[in-house]
Structure 1
Amino acid sequence: MPTGVAIREVRRQLFDAAERVLRDGGPSALTSRAVTAEAGCAKGVLHRHFTDFDDFLARLVEDRAAGVEARAAELRGAAGTGTVTGNLTAALAELFGTVALAVVGLVAARDELRARLRRRWPTGVPLLAEATASLAAYLTAERDLGRLAAEADVESLAPALIGGGHLLYADRTGPPPTAETVERMVAALVGPALRTPRG
């Protein structure tokens, strides 16, 4: 196996392990020892591939942000199909049903990580910034197709949807909101801009 492939595989294994630790235990549970134990490898493996633990965490955040950006194309491709409300509800469930909330907490909790990430994200919150851009692009596509009113303010609707979704999913220890709850929030925000009665 070429070296580049092996390095990518090790990084993927460590990132996936870190996501599981974050999802199960939150930011306070995320240590280099917890990550390598979850990944089933020696602690030194992490330090062979990253300069320090904050470098690892910064790369983890960047990797997960790239995943959000990749899914943005899928969401844009859904424009004109299904319902606007249904597509947005599914997108929010996918975003907040993953590690996004834990990453936001992680960034808030670690000063050094936040400082490193400011090089790429001088403003905004990693993952949520990409998700907001994704929703704005989708809403713009729906507006161009005539399913949203021409005057719909997608630049305001997108962050409002992210903020509403974040609040609904914020309690990591309790059960997630139902699809109906999320859809009701989405409909309340987007409904006035819909050109079709069932949106």
Structure 2
Amino acid sequence: MPTGVALRDVREQLFDAAERILLRDGPSALTSRAVTMEAGCAKGVLHRHFDDFDAFLAEFVFDRIHRMDAHAAALRDLAGTGTVADNLTDALTALFGSVAVAIVPLLTFRDEVRARLRRAWPAGVPVLTEACTMIASYLAAERDLGRIAAEADIETLAPTLIGAGHLLFADRKGAPPEAGAVRKMVSTVLAGVVVQEPLF
């Protein structure tokens, strides 16, 4: 695209390009040139909208974190429907099938991006801590409905599910785990806290 041609939603176009590169080629392939080429725009466009490439990447991570809000709300809305294990299996599969897993090595790979995020996010890996909050909110809703035991330690269960889920999905180049494997992990973590629903 020639320089000077107005781009509609240029930030989102650049973020989408970065996501495609990250998922396809990994964090080492993310450069300002690669992002602008993927987005189909002139090289200078990115630097007209962001102070530098690390600022762009930090904003990209925050943008993807904020997108998780809709997923969190949808998961909370499932409380009381289906089974707890199935709801969490689907939620974890969607979470780790997204860019969330790919952002973790990006933060490991880019010290300056991690430092910038740390100023606004003082603890934990942003995507994973937000995912823990999402899972904890759902588990709390199920506990309120009596489908999770009142004494369940949600603050421990949520990060355990995220950590175990991350290990299942972490091999970016390999095939994703089958739903049965994810469900087995969820059921194992929640063993003893899911209240048996009556059979009619």
Q: Same fold (TM over 0.5)?
A: yes
- 2: CA distance, partners of 1:186 / 1:119: 33
CA 1:125–1:56 in structure 2 vs 1: closer, same or farther (change >3 Å)?
same
Match of 1:21 in 2: 21
Cα drift, residue 102 of structure 1: 1.1
Written as runs of structure 1 = structure 2, the 5 A alignment for 1:22-171 is 22-171=22-171
Query: What TM-score comes out, normalization by structure 2 length?
Result: 0.93
Query: Counterpart of 1:96 in structure 2: which amino acid?
Result: F
CA contact (8 A) 1:78 1:87 kept: yes
Deviation string, structure 1 residues 18-43 (Cα, Å, up to 9, x no partner): 00000000101111111111111111
RMSD between aligned alpha carbons?
Answer: 1.4
Q: Which amino acid in structure 1 is aligned with residue 139 of structure 2?
A: L
Q: C-alpha displacement at 1:192, in angstroms?
A: 1.5
More helix by percentage? 1
Shift, 1:8, TM fit:
7.3
Pair 148,8 (structure 1): closer, same or farther in 2 beyond 3 Å: farther
Quickly say closer, same or farther: Cα 1:21–1:121, change in 2 above 3 A. same
Please tell me whether the aligned partners of residues 65 and 127 of structure 1 are also in contact (alpha carbons under 8 angstroms): yes
Offset of residue 125 of structure 1: 0.4
Distance 2:48 2:70 in 1: 28
Contact 2:21 2:30 in 1 (8 A): yes
Provide the C-alpha distance between the structure 2 equivalents of 1:8 and 1:122, rounded to a whole number of angstroms.
33
Aligned residues: 193
| The 10-residue stretch of structure 1 (7-16 or 164-173) with the greater mean CA deviation from structure 2 | 7-16
**Scaled by the length of structure 1, what TM-score is found?**
0.94
- Which whole-Å deviations, capped at 9, do the CAs of 1:56-80 have from their partners, x for residues lacking one? 0000000000011232111111100
Q: Any conservation in 2 of the 1:79–1:141 contact (CA below 8 Å)?
A: yes
CA distance in 2, matches of 1:39, 1:99: 17
**Are the counterparts in 2 of residues 61 and 103 from structure 1 also a CA contact under 8 Å?**
yes
- 1:15 and 1:87 mapped to 2: Cα distance? 29
- Please identify runs of 4+ aligned residues in structure 1 that moved more than 2 A: none
Structure 2 residue identity aligned to 1:159: P
Letter aligned with residue 173 of structure 1: K
Contact 1:69 1:131 in 2 (8 A): no
Give percent identity, aligned residues only: 64
